[in-house]
Amino acid sequence: MKHLLVNSAIVLAATVAVISCTTENSGIRNTSQHKYASEGYEYFHTPYPESIAIYDTPAPSGYKVTNLWHIGRHGSRRPAGKGETTRALKVFDAAARAGLLTDEGKALHADILRMRDEFDGEIGELSARGGREHQAIAARIVKRYPSLFKGRNKKIHAVSSNSTRVIASMCNFCNVFKSGNTSFDYTFVTGDKWRRYVSRSDGSDSIYVYYRGLRNKYLEASLSPGTFASKYFTDPSAVEQLSDCPMWECVYRIFALGTLCHCNDLSDIDLCKYLEKDDMETCYKACASCFYCQSGLSDKWAQSRRLDAKVLSDDILTYGDSVAEGSAEYVCDLHFSHDTGIAALLALLGVDGFDKSLTFDQALEWDASKYICMAFNFDVIFYRNRKGDTLVKFLRNEEETFIAALTPAEGPYYRWSDVRDYLAN
């Protein structure tokens, strides 16, 4: 098992190298909130908002921020695997060889080839935009909670999955976070062990297979790919036979690849413009429901997936106790993970938007672009007064949020003792 433990000076140097490569309520959907709603598109791979309207409900008198527990998904990325590109290309390559592409089909084929070339050698990696997303999140925390960075020689702990896009996200975040106080000492850990810690998914393969099967059945039954097929192919039936790919699946593959354009600053390529709006809506719903259900929020496997996140809720419990006792070794405890790991944690905690067990059909209206965008994050902010009393506030994507099963002490602020009992039981 690989295990990396290095001091802050070494990682800060590595961070600069990474930066040079990467920098350049309810869960029901409300399309008016979508970043790209004005274009008529609904994206599944949604980049993190470039700006956030920050608001903090004033803390009760005498309390100030002392500690932070943070977990964030990697930022916007390249395709997770070669299949996201090759599956779409397979259909259009076959049609091109047989001379079955219309002029519009040739244009779409050319754009897919451009995306393949853009991503060559960088499959699964953090995009430039993804780096900027984590830098901006860190900068806002530094500005928002200056009391975290008072004093000298305090310690910050950062844990990452061993995925390079997650490690790069950690580096981008911490490089800016360090500006809050350059005297602080950072400890960084990553490796196979820590991937299972921040994004455990024991026994989830069967869950993924089950819900992706439901997704595909929904797509096959709900998509109407006739317009798409006739627009881009002169003989759609022949193309289906040559590529061994039905037209409904071809539409979905273009959607899955096309929604990565905005995550990669590809302003001159937009595969989604080739799709009908109704087909995009159908693909979006299917992807959103599939994610919701396979990540610990389904009526079928909720308990088993949520238990995967118990290690993270126990981490919050242990860290919170040390804060309440005034013995916390680290002023900030940072974690960098993947979407399914964080979603399972929020489902276990019952955070607003992740607090209902839904069937696949019920989850079709879940707002995936809002809740699981790239770099989506969850914070536990600790407040203490001079008597040593401890309150906590929860942030989801930098906005105050609530846990339905708990009663706040005031506004969005919870007594640590109440949160502790909830986590322990």
pTM of the model: 0.89
Whether 89 contacts 113, CB under 8 Å: yes
Strand locations in 108-219, DSSP E? 155-160, 185-190
**375 dihedral zone (left: phi>0; alpha: psi -120 to 50; beta):** left
Count the domains in the chain.
2
On whether residue 219 sits in a domain, the answer given is no
CB atoms under 10 Å from CB of 181, counted, come to 18
Residues in the chain, pLDDT under 70: 1-44, 201-204, 296, 302
Is 67 found in the same domain as 162?
yes
- 169 and 89 in a single domain? The answer is no
Residues 65 and 153 in one domain: yes
**End of a domain among 237, 255, 275?**
275
Tell me the angle at which helices 236-243 and 83-97 cross, rounded to the nearest 10 degrees: 120
CB atoms within 10 A of CB 397: 20
Range of the domain at 348: 4-75+126-189+277-424
Judge if 118 and 254 occupy the same domain: yes
297 plus 368 within the same structural domain: yes
Looking at residue 203, its pLDDT comes to: 57
Q: Is residue 202 part of a domain?
A: no
List all residues 6 or more positions away from 2 whose beta carbon is below 8 Å from its beta carbon: 162, 191, 192
93-144: per-residue pLDDT in tens?
A: 999 999 999 999 999 999 999 999 999 999 989 999 999 999 999 999 999 9
CATH number at residue 63: 3.40.50.1240
d(CA 332, CA 334): 6
CA 336, 252, 129, 379 torsion: positive or negative? negative
